[in-house]
Amino acid sequence: MSNLYRSAISARIAKLPPSTIFPDEDVDEEGEGADTIGNLPGSGLGPPAMQRSPNPSFSPISAAGFFAEAVQVAVPHRQLDSRVYYTAPKSQNGTVMICHHGAGYSGLSFACFAKEVTDVTKGELGVLSLDARRHGKTTSSNVDDADLSIDILKADFLGVVQAVFPDPSTAPTLLLVGHSMGGSVVVHSCAALFEKKYKVGGVAVLDVVEGSAIEALPHMHSLLNARPEGFDSMEEAIEWHVSTKAIRSANSARISIPSIILHDDTAVKPYQWRTPLRSTAPYWSSWFMGLSAHFLAVRTARLLVLAGTDRLDKELMIGQMQGKFQMVVVPGVGHMLQEDDPTRLAEILVEFWRRNERVTIGVKKIGEL
């Protein structure tokens, strides 16, 4: 089973009009710094750290250079102001990889990975990574936006895609990538995108298997009990993730973790989780129930990337034997594989894109003529 579940059981944007997208120029929570792409501050187990001076080795670092821009996308019918990180493909008719993070994390969990993709494809493949409802810098004008069920997350995801690429006939080909909870979101959204006439060149799910996830759910509260309620500094929050191997790359953690932590001077521990995972418990089942069947039913290329040799459930085992999807296991990483080894994951996804690109545009491969 993937590392997360094993631990649990053992304890430029499509020339959008100004009304749809606008530059990122706000400054919000104290301590988080100026909120622009050039000035962004840079779940394992273990006891909370003792209060001590912040360790500069774990200070936040800027996300500049990992994405071309960070913008807010208005999705009025969803009452959302969605944060999107984006690097456009150099060709107007290129492909854009759309990444959805897992529960409790943010679009910046794909920052290092996005830079690797841009570098290895020399800008041919664009990358867009978003913050989901109640995560990162996405905000809602709905006072009751607590619902994180799969239907809500799917509708939000579709709303962002339509806001960024309003005309399916001129939109780039989309390659959907989702980590954990995000894997379920992109899988459930695929059919609706096809219905709306978008071109979807493939779906990649990162480190989640329905059977393992469902088995782990009864144990998740015990896992969460081992997490600190908060931290004394941002550096401590980053160091905790690295020292517990929740994220194995300190460089990536220094970029992504500030986006999942809030500064609250009134709290005993002033650096608090932006999205407390325990509050998402009512929606866990909706994320994973039926995921295997939905994954096998999508009408495009399918890829499953795991952080360890996982025990596939019956549907996926049969589907793999029938050659219905590609599976790759990445050694030496944890659940946050896109942060732990962004170079290897970029190689896997770029290879997946290149293999399926010619099929997507209707050109058969040699041997199929």
| Burial environment of residue 84 by CB neighbours within 10 A (0 to 12, 13 to 18, 19 or more) | buried
Under DSSP, is residue 200 helix (H, G, I), strand (E, B) or coil? strand
| Cα–Cα distance measured from residue 68 to residue 24, given in angstroms and rounded to the nearest whole number | 12
Could you confirm whether 221 is annotated as catalytic? no
Interatomic CA distance for residues 113 and 128, integer angstroms:
11
Q: Locate all alpha helices (DSSP H) within 205-279, ordered by sequence.
A: 210-216, 220-225, 234-243, 250-256
207: annotated active-site residue: yes
Of the candidates 35, 249, 335, 341, the residue annotated as catalytic is: 335
Q: What is the 3-state secondary structure (H, E, C) of 169-181?
A: CCCCEEEEEEECH
* Environment class of 363 (CB within 10 Å of its CB; exposed 0-12, middle 13-18, buried 19+): exposed
Alpha carbons 249 and 264: distance in angstroms, whole number: 27
End-to-end CA distance of the chain, in Å? 40
Dihedral (CA of 143, 183, 64, 33) sign: positive
- Residue 81 tokens read as 């102001």
* Axis-axis angle for helices 181-195, 150-164 (nearest 10): 60
> E-strand spans in 4-54?
21-23
Instruction: Count CB-CB contacts under 10 A for residue 329.
Output: 12
- Which residue among 35, 207, 340, 341 is the active-site one? 207
Question: Would residue 131 show up in a list of annotated catalytic residues for this protein?
Answer: no
Strands 230-231 and 271-273, bridge-based pairing: antiparallel
180, 189, 249, 259: which is the annotated catalytic residue?
Answer: 180
Q: Which residues are catalytic?
A: 180, 207, 335
